[in-house]
Amino acid sequence: SQQGEEDPQALSIQEGENATMNCSYKTSINNLQWYRQNSGRGLVHLILIRSNEREKHSGRLRVTLDTSKKSSSLLITASRAADTASYFCATDGTGGFKTIFGAGTRLFVKA
């Protein structure tokens, strides 16, 4: 079973708008990561946030983590058509030797 649950399942926006995706998980974590996947190809690592961090930025990406609510959000600002992809959150679970992915959010950015 998958620990992470992304919301929404799909999101369609216009170029230039912001996109927000949410992830919830079930058990304690050491870190949470976000990945992007284009058209069923390999995943690309976007950002890692550790359990003692609350917010992290990388370019147009902003990730927040609320361990009390077991949730995280990924914000993509000023979206571009090239941002069209599936986005997954992944948690390390207990022991740190197993990475659990959610089902993903499919983002469509219309030019």
Partner 1 sequence: DAGVTQSPTHLIKTRGQHVTLRCSPISGHKSVSWYQQVLGQGPQFIFQYYEKEERGRGNFPDRFSARQFPNYSSELNVNALLLGDSALYLCASSSHGQAYEQYFGPGTRLTVT
- CB closer to partner 1 out of 75 and 100: 100
Options 11, 65, 85, 104; binder of partner 1; rule CB under 8 A: 104
- Report the sign of the C-alpha dihedral through residues 35, 5, 96, 53, in that order: positive
Pairing outcome for strands 10-14 and 55-58: unpaired
- Binding of partner 1 by 63 (CB under 8 A): no
Side chain identity at residue 68, one-letter code: S
Whether residue 8 is preceded by a cis peptide bond, meaning omega within 30 degrees of 0, is yes
Binding flag, residue 85, partner 1 (CB under 8 A): no
Cα–Cα distance for residue pair 111/100, rounded to 1 Å:
33
As measured in angstroms, the least distance from the Cβ of 44 to partner 1 is 7
Residue 95 beta carbon to partner 1: minimum distance, rounded to whole angstroms? 7
Q: Which residues lie near partner 1 (CB under 8 A)?
A: 1-2, 4, 30-31, 33, 35, 40-45, 48, 88, 92, 95-104
